[in-house]
Amino acid sequence: MTLPTQMTVIEMREAGKPNVLIEGKRELPTASTDEVLIKVTAAGVNGPDLVQRRGHYPPPKGASDLLGLEVSGEIVATGSDQTQWAIGDHVCALTNGGGYAEYVAVTASHCLPIPEGVSEIDAAGLPETYFTVWSNVFFQQQIKQDGVFLVHGGAGGIGSTAIQLGTAMGLQVFTTADSDEACAYCEALGAKRAIDFKQDDFVPILREAGGADIILDIIGGDYVARNIKAARADARIIQIAFNLGSKMEIDLMPVMLKRITLTGSTLRSRPEAFKSAVAADLQKTAWPFFDAAPAQLRATTFTSFDLADAAKAHELMESGTQRGKILLTI
């Protein structure tokens, strides 16, 4: 297969608003010994892309400066040391940046097969949220069947994935969202109760249910103290974003009295071996839920834009009106 020497990418002129995203040309990346080169079909748009574009989330050392943390597409070249994939295989993959481009080199063990019943375009919206939710909530954890799982921001990409995975793994999923329509969307994904946070306080609702065993929070701000109130004894509270800010004052006494584990992480800076282990566990444990009859997991694509319209995709995501994932198609 003859490959071009250059490719179209989306670059940032500088940090700022969505209009800083412009088309550019780059040399084609090459696959190192443990990588594969993917001809990109589609790329997912995620919260960290927006934060990096604003100048607040610089890529780790050695990572691509281009946005884009997940893609789907066809493998067109392989490194000499990897044996997992062959040229012509179609995969979805977690990238370390570089997804907003026609080609991207990816660690081979960070690729996953496209699940049964999911289109190649829609598969681009799976890796980032599935790696994030799985690694924080389920990976190497003992999950209590019928436990209570509170997911904040249920109508977004992370929330849509967390609701589905929680339900498939036997948890009672409660979630927060910003409207009746968003709540209906969350309940259609499997949430036992979706709470319109503009109308109702989630704390007494969760307390009435016995308290949350696991809380996945992307909100931060005053939600941190309220999460502690909503948690039952021995709960885990997992912070993965701070839409309302990362600085707040909390009372740690309930954390001690209820033996709460308060933790958090970012995915991109985790070691390559960790991400490989998460990918293997996803394929073994979560991916079969796509093949179940009826399917217990599905892609949640809201809409897609051409790669050249990446700025419009960012504007939509910043509006907070999407349900599920926004994609860029190549």
Task: Count up the domains in the chain and report the number.
Answer: 2
**pLDDT classification of 72: cutoffs 50, 70, 90:** very high
- With 90 as the cut, is the pLDDT of residue 96 above it? yes
Residue 159 belongs to a domain: yes
Residue 136 belongs to a domain: no
pLDDT recorded at residue 269: 87
pLDDT recorded at residue 325: 97
Residue 1 belongs to a domain: no
- pLDDT averaged over the chain? 96
258 and 274 part of one domain:
no
98 and 154 part of one domain:
no
Residue 133 belongs to a domain: no
- With 90 as the cut, is the pLDDT of residue 324 above it? yes
- With 90 as the cut, is the pLDDT of residue 306 above it? yes
228 and 303 part of one domain:
no
Residue 134 belongs to a domain: no
- With 90 as the cut, is the pLDDT of residue 177 above it? yes
* pLDDT digit string, tens, across residues 50-63: 999 999 989 988 89
Please indicate, yes or no, whether the overall pTM of this predicted structure exceeds 0.85: yes
**Residue span of the structural domain in which 19 resides:** 6-126+268-329
Q: In the block, which residue shows the tokens 């931060």?
A: 220
DSSP 199-242: T--HHHHHHHTT-EEEEEES--TTHHHHHHHHEEEEEEEEE---
* pLDDT digit string, tens, across residues 252-287: 999 999 999 999 998 988 999 999 999 999 999 999
**pLDDT classification of 1: cutoffs 50, 70, 90:** confident
Residue 188 belongs to a domain: yes
* pLDDT digit string, tens, across residues 28-49: 999 999 999 999 999 999 999 9
Contacts of 319 (CB under 8 A, 6+ apart): none
Supply φ then ψ for residue 263, to 5 degrees: -140, 180
Shortest CA distance to 322 belongs to which of 160, 187, 193, 188? 160
pLDDT recorded at residue 35: 98
Judge whether 123 and 29 are in contact, CB under 8 Å: no
- With 80 as the cut, is the pLDDT of residue 26 above it? yes
Mean pLDDT, residues 228-255: 93
- With 80 as the cut, is the pLDDT of residue 312 above it? yes
162 and 52 part of one domain:
no
Mean pLDDT, residues 204-226: 97
CATH number at residue 197: 3.40.50.720
pLDDT > 90: what percent of the chain? 92
116 and 38 part of one domain:
yes
